[in-house]
Amino acid sequence: MAALTAKDFDAIKTSVQDGAKNWIRVGMSTCGIAAGAGKIYRALEEEISRQGQSVSLRTCGCLGMCYAEPLVEVCIEGLPRVVYCRVTEDCAREIVRGHVMGRKLLQDYILAMHYEEAFS
């Protein structure tokens, strides 16, 4: 790939931000994987393709709430962005059916997080 130059920075930022508006992210650091995030990722992948959804499925690092792993963050336009915790395979399938397709937030799995960001 071509070497990055100063003017590429804004273009990359715009293209990432304009990327998928509907996405699911699975925490896949050692803590998440130990808690079964690999299985959860596969369950989500299967259910998304079975239901023919176009939601973007990605991995990310550790959010810090290791006690509540596996963590799955879901962003669907029109719904608040939420983090589901202690996700099971059944819950993963329900995320696709209920949250992505049914546009409903799942009961009893949301983890609220409180922190401020040091810079924006």
Partner 1 sequence: MSDKTVLLQDTTAGIATGTNDFFGVFKAALRESNLADNVRLVRVADMGVYNQGVVMTILPENITYANVEVHDIKRIIGVTLKHGNPVKDLLYQPKFRQMRLVLKNCGRLDPGSIDDYIATDGYRALLKAVEQKTPEDVIAELKNSGLRGRGGGGYSTGLKWQFTREAEGETKYVICNADEGDPGAYMDRSVLEGNPHSVIEGMLLAGYAIGSSQGFFYIRAEYPLAIERVQKALDQARDRGLLGANILGSAFSMDIEIRLGAGAFVCGEETALIASIEGKRGTPVPRPPYPSVRGLWGMPTCINNVETLANVAPIILHGADWFAGIGTSSSKGTKVFALTGKVRNSGLVEVPMGTTLRDIVFDIGGGIASGKKFKAVQTGGPSGGVIPEKYLDTPVDYDTLQKLGSIMGSGGMIVMDEDDCMVDIAKFYIKFCVEESCGKCAPCRIGGYQILHILEGITQGRGTLQDLDRLILIARAMKMGSLCGLGQTAANPVISTLTYFEDEYREHIVNRRCPARKCKALLQFSIIRHQCKKCGLCARACPENAITGDREHGYTIDTDKCIHCGMCFDVCKFSAVERI
Angstrom distance (rounded) from CA 64 to CA 54: 29
- Which of 35, 43, 63, 72 is close enough to bind partner 1 by CB under 8 A? 63
Regarding 80 and contact with partner 1 (CB under 8 A), the answer is yes
Determine, following the binding rule CB under 8 A, whether residue 53 of this chain makes contact with partner 1.
Answer: no
Could you say whether residue 70 binds partner 1 (CB under 8 A)?
no
Select 6 or 52, whichever has its Cβ closest to partner 1. Answer: 6
For residue 118, with 0-12 CB atoms within 10 Å meaning exposed, 13-18 middle and 19 or more buried, which class applies? Answer: exposed
- If one counts every other C-beta atom within 10 angstroms of the C-beta of residue 98, the result is 15
**From 22, 45, 86, 101, residue interacting with partner 1 (rule: CB under 8 A):** 86
CA distances from 94 to 4, 80, 88, 103 (A): 41, 17, 10, 11
Residues 100-119 vs partner 1: string with x where CB under 8 A?
A: ----xxxxxxxxxxxxxxxx
The token duo for 29 is: 């650091």
Task: Work out whether 7 is an interface residue with partner 1 (CB under 8 A).
Answer: no
User: Given candidates 44, 68, 76, 95, which one binds partner 1 under the rule CB under 8 A?
Assistant: 68
Tokens of 74: 């879901």
Does residue 72 contact residue 83 with C-beta atoms inside 8 Å? yes
Summarize as ranges the residues that interact with partner 1 (CB under 8 A): 1-6, 9, 12-13, 15-17, 25, 27, 29-31, 33, 58-68, 71, 78-80, 84-86, 104-119
